Chains A and B, each alone.
Chain A
Amino acid sequence: MSSNLQYRSPYTVVDALPPGYSRRPAGEPERATITFTIDGQEIQAPEGIMVVDAAKYGGVEIPVFCYEPKLGAPVGACRMCLVEIEGIPKLQTACSTPVRDGMVVVTKSERVVEAQNGVVEFILLNHPLDCPVCDKGGECPLQDISYGWGGGESRMVEPKRHFEKPVALSDAIAIDRERCILCYRCVRFSQEVSEDYQLVLLDRGAGAHVGTFDGTQYIAPFSGNIVELCPVGALTSRAYRFRARPWDVEQGGSVCTLCPAQCNVSYTVRDEQVMRTLSRENAGVDDGWLCDKGRFAYEAWESDARITTPLVRQGDKLMPARWEVALTAAANILKKSGPRTAALAGGATTNEEGWLLRRLMLDGLGSPHFDSRRGGEFDFDVARTLANPALAATMPDVEWADALLVLDCEPVDDMPVLDLRIRKGVRRNGVKLAIASARPSSLDAGATRVARIAPGGAEAFTQALLAALGDGGDVETLCENAGADAAEVRAIADLLAGAKRPVIVWSERLAVTGRGAAPLRAICNLADRLGIAAKDGAGLLEVPLSANARGLREIGLLPTAAPGLMHCDNPGLDATGIAAACGEEISALVLMNTDPLSDYDDPTAWSAALAKAGAVISFSTWMDAATARHADVVFPAEVGPEKDGTVTHPDGRIQRLRQTVERAGEVNAGWWVLNELGRRVGVDLGVKVANQATAQIANHVGIYAGVTTAELGGDGVRWQERDAAANLPRPARTTFDLTPPPAAPSSDGYLRLGVFRSLWSGGEVVNAATLATLAAAPRRVELSPVDGERLGLTSGDAVTVKTGDGEMSAVVALRDAVPAGFAFVSADLRLDEGDEAAVATLGRALASTEERSAEVTK
């Protein structure tokens, strides 16, 4: 009956080892293969997986509603999956019964069919049959299961359950409680995956319904996932409601490039327009989740704020121009400036764009001055050590580590989906989590150990950890410098030392502290000390400061290294050097997907540099500050679904972007623009289709040698697992002499200033209707209740935060977990009118270990 029903549930994982794991994570227990019988056929399956999954090995589909392994242990609530198991008198839920050798399962007997019909009848009792006007219609598991396993008639004559509907759960999501079948997926997500515990079940029995506290909005970084999880039309995206039907849309897979998490996405497209963004589960990357920024960014791409034509400056105005005009203008700038041109690329830049930009600079203009990093010393040995495949942790390794140190980063803001992976590891696999951060982390609650350090104290903390591990140095002094509690540091050292699979997640922020490569050297030593290279499943995972930082570094968009981290004979200026040289050694600047005024840590310096730069060419999606004020030519940049190319995940997975919609307005492909510019300055970059740039990378980047888009397929490939990984040059040394870190700066009787960047920043957040209120939240300064009391401040007070030479306005949030003596300011470095002083201050605070004291007054 059901076998010919092409029912493809988007909600189930078919294999015990889903595609995307290039290998089983070392920590994950191996499963033996067993033989069992289902509906008369003998089938082999991994032992202990649930019968419902095992059945798929024999092509048998057992219907489910509540079962969703992504949410954790099965709950056995909906009872849709009842089957007969020989030797057990009662029908059993296939979703929660592990398969055993010799088990005999029956899914089609009269008893089972009766029970299935019964459950479908029960579920439909109170479910409105408003399928024609329901957004889920056509892609609704309830429709499919009713058809496949239902009895086909309803015997209920009483009125159905009624709720007020539909109501807004938040700006993003509407809930229609009448359609809810109480499968608990959404509340389990909130409670057991994102652990925000805001979406809950209220009341009980037939009155049970999904809701929040006192009608407040469901605001959580990952809230949109519940729309995808809901097996009926109870939870719908307000942005998507009533805008399309499943049969008049297409799905196109790609990769989100808004942050380093690089989640795999599937764009729903109608008439060349993205209608919504869905997760495209990749167990090696995102585990099937998206953050709300990635999910709703498409709204921003459709907004009027987007730049969709080339612009050329006329007087003090940027005016739309034809491509030919803009290209000629840009080429003239480049030709004139020649080797005195510099280029910077931001995280949304693909490997191909980075590669062509590099060639344009080197081969076309003879300039070695280009960078994709935010600054800081580049040390070959450190870079090659950190790139060593033996030291690389994969995303699944994070989940299967036995000890995990999160060093100076806040995953939920820096690489959101990593936050979920860490929570999963802690909750399901018992990962022992240690946090070392200045600002209280949202992961603290699940941590075994939490070390509060001073802002900027991460290097000293790492050295203290090394000392505690017996690497020399005085633990107490180093801890004092780190602003950390020595006992806590020792405990974390013990935790890591005792681990079979220690994993360290660290932020690229450590590379831009003003201490050059020193903090990274300490990390190399730590990896060595912990013997990570020799431990399967152990590793380091860098959380880069921008989405494709790793890829751009590896394809060679660096002033000091050749592609594949090879030696380079003729180094150029790095980002910091470029800023300093503008107006002198540098007379023109190309900005590709970056606004140095908000992306880089010293906006004051960049403000001056841009003013002096002579000419600026910008590839941009938004009218960011640098583009608006300084660009002479603007090329409209492609956004996610318009792009072709590859990017590299922080764990080394090369992933493929595929174009799924026509480019908006007059937008052209980045590679095409670069090729055209090349032509005009006299170099043939040789790219007529996007693929050719990938082929060039495959030919010239040793560690990516031979890579093809076909090989990358839908899930991507970690370069460390390809033979070409052998092309990575060996570092001359892998451990380093460390210089003593500076003492944590004194606060001179003021509060110590810490700065954090929220996930809710960037053009995609500001311009997406669904997210706009989040972006509009005022800058806040987080204080401890102790300081709040001392200063007479309560939450919500408008205050002025003064630092050495600047001041800014902010709103107080007292947080119990903030240690006394600190002030944490949200630094979404948007250069709004009149806010430059604040941004400069925050930028410097982000950039250096100095000037970290602040005064907060009403």
Chain B
Amino acid sequence: MDDLLFHDIDEPGLNTIEVYERRGGYETLKKALRELDGDRVLAELQASGVRGRGGAGFAMGTKAGFLPKGTMDKYLCCNADESEPGTFKDRELMQKNPHQLIEGIVLASFAAGINKAFIYIRGEYDAQASILEAAVREAYEHGHLGENIHGSSFGVSLVVHRGAGAYICGEETALLDSLEGKRGNPRLKPPFPANAGLFQGPTLINNVETLSNVSHIIKHGGEWYARIGTEKSTGTKLVSVSGCVQRPGNYEIELGVPAREIIFGLAGGPLPGREIKAWFPGGSSSPVLTPAELDLAYDFDTIAGAGSMLGSGAIIVIDDSVSIVDVCLRTAMFYKHESCGKCTPCREGTNWTTKMLQRVSDGLATPMDLDIIASVQKQIMGNCLCVLGDAMAMPVSSMVNKFRGEFEAHIEQARAKHTPLSEAVRAPLDLTKQGAIA
């Protein structure tokens, strides 16, 4: 077996139903509806061991199994928000092989008794959303979606829903609120989406890549799938490699290959004359790793064991030409910008951290500020409503801790330059429209 999700990914017209069906697409769906029941499909998913590809790495079959049985409306939300910096794999899947995703959605719905499915795609992915919409239309026309699919008693509807620019909507409960037409604020858990999710109904939320695996798992069987990768990280993984490498791009790898093979072998390694200084193994939310950790096996548990996480499978490579202070500040700025503002530690913590890092960058800080930065990250971690706060605190503290020397050196040098207090820090927010009281 070569590659799963990316098999012939560049075949012209693969995004159309003609080509997809010609290549055997939707046969698995038809067969499953004809020969299997939902429980059996679910059992295959469970046997495959496939873990979520969206960030948390939770076993998909297990999660699907949490949905209550019964005839109430149940929902599937395909998480196509893909906003984690450095991540662009779902984009490729949706643009080039949308039917693989749709088939996976229908099969997963069948497995969990779901009758209404949505793809929540980030609004910026305009081209991809249009392709998906066209593919959904085709799938309806060909009877792969709708009621009584292929003569079975099973039916599911599918709507492509575009977001409008908010990273937090990738967080599954924020996604639900956003899909319900609200501000994308995360919800308190419990209740978990499996019990009370979209419109308070049982809801299964999975990433595009996770769902794109489903038809392959059902086609070949869960056991077959489980043999790919490592024992606890089965299957292949799309890895988005970006940053200071020669060939940034999406690569499908078998889980468990050494990270070095991905970064050097596939992505061509750093630019000539450059050395790797640090790398994010799983998007900008993951604590950075050092070159010493390049030989780690790229799978969920090994990376977690190294104090980081596989996350969305986005490797961002930082080379020695880049100041870690810049990376750290940029990272914090992102999370500050994307914090929904609902809970205190995240809203205030990301904002404050950004201000402090700005001062560090501007040369207006002392090493004591680094201690405060580190302690503020601790104040954030684990204390927020969702993990967006942690998503900043983890990489920021990893950078401050692992590269403390560089931070201190920067503070020294920058202070010497007497950089004025940056406008970004000083500029007041003037967001009001309402007139002052006379």
Contacts and interface: CB of A to CB of B under 8 A. Distances in A.
Do any beta carbons of A and B sit within 8 angstroms of each other in the complex? yes
Nearest to B188: A76
A182 B345 contact: no
A215 B435 contact: yes
B355 A158 contact: yes
Contacts of B166: 204
B28 to A, nearest CB: 40
Interface in B409-438: 425-426, 428-437
A158 B426 CA distance: 8
A162 B430 contact: yes
The 7 nearest A-B residue pairs measured at CB: A162-B428, A118-B379, A208-B341, A122-B348, A206-B351, A205-B339, A215-B433
A155 interface: yes
Interface of B: 166, 183, 188, 336-345, 347-352, 355-356, 359, 372, 379, 382-385, 425-426, 428-437
Contacts of A118: 345, 379, 383
Q: Which of A164, A169, A206 counts the most chain B CB atoms within 10 A?
A: A206
Contact of B429 (A80, A114, A121, A161): A161
B435 A168 contact: yes
Contact of A79 (B341, B350, B384): B384
A177 interface: yes
A278 B245 CA distance: 65
A226 B166 CA distance: 29
Q: Is the interface of A mostly helix, strand, loop or mixed?
A: loop
Contacts of A164: 430, 432, 434, 436
Contacts of A175: 434
A205 B350 contact: yes
9 contacts: A126-B348, A162-B428, A163-B431, A164-B432, A181-B344, A205-B351, A206-B429, A208-B347, A209-B432
A165 B428 CA distance: 13
B351 A76 contact: no
A75 B183 CA distance: 14
Given A79-B383, A155-B372, A204-B183, A174 B431 contact: no
Contact of B341 (A82, A205, A215): A205
Q: Which of A79, A126, A174 counts the most chain B CB atoms within 10 A?
A: A79
A159 B435 contact: no
Contacts of B372: 155
Contact of A77 (B338, B344, B352, B431): B344
B352 A82 contact: no
B382 A205 contact: no
Given A90-B382, A122-B379, A177 B344 contact: no
Interface of A: 74-80, 82, 90-91, 93, 96, 114-115, 118-119, 121-123, 125-126, 155-156, 158-159, 161-169, 174-175, 177, 181-182, 184, 201-209, 211-212, 214-215, 238
B188 A79 contact: no
Q: Which of B341, B348, B437 counts the most chain A CB atoms within 10 A?
A: B348
Given A155-B372, A159-B425, A115 B383 contact: yes
Contact of B435 (A156, A167, A177): A167
Contact of A78 (B188, B344, B379): B344
A76 B187 CA distance: 9
A208 B336 CA distance: 12
Given A122-B345, A158-B355, A158-B359, A204 B431 contact: no
Contacts of B436: 164-168
A214 B431 CA distance: 12
Contact of B430 (A163, A168, A215): A163
Contacts of A126: 348, 351
Contacts of B437: 166-168, 174, 238
Nearest to B359: A158
A206 to B, nearest CB: 4
B10 to A, nearest CB: 38
Contact of B432 (A77, A114, A163, A184): A163
A430 to B, nearest CB: 12
A121 B353 CA distance: 13
A207 B429 contact: yes
Nearest to B371: A155
Nearest to A65: B344
A205 B345 CA distance: 11
B13 to A, nearest CB: 40
A202 B344 contact: no
Nearest to A123: B344
Contacts of A158: 352, 355-356, 359, 425
Given A74-B188, A122-B348, A174-B437, A205 B336 contact: yes
B429 A204 contact: no
A182 B359 CA distance: 26
Given A168-B434, A206-B336, A125 B188 contact: no
Given A115-B383, A166-B437, A206 B431 contact: no
Contacts of A75: 188, 342
Contacts of A76: 188, 343, 385
Contact of B431 (A79, A155, A168, A203): A203
Contact of A162 (B340, B344, B429): B429
A499 B378 CA distance: 54
Contact of A121 (B343, B379, B382): B379
A54 to B, nearest CB: 17
A76 B425 CA distance: 29
Q: Which of A93, A96, A169, A207 counts the most chain B CB atoms within 10 A?
A: A207
A96 B341 contact: no
Nearest to B372: A155
A174 B340 CA distance: 25
A170 to B, nearest CB: 10
Given A79-B344, A93-B188, A175-B434, 19 more contacts: A77-B343, A77-B385, A90-B382, A118-B383, A123-B344, A158-B355, A159-B426, A163-B430, A164-B430, A165-B436, A166-B436, A203-B431, A204-B340, A205-B336, A205-B337, A205-B341, A206-B336, A206-B348, A207-B341
B188 A96 contact: yes
B188 to A, nearest CB: 4
Contacts of A165: 436
B432 to A, nearest CB: 5
A91 B383 contact: yes
B338 A205 contact: yes
Q: Which of B166, B183, B350 counts the most chain A CB atoms within 10 A?
A: B183
Contacts of B344: 77-80, 119, 122-123, 181-182
Given A122-B348, A155-B372, A159-B425, A205 B340 contact: yes
Contacts of B382: 90-91
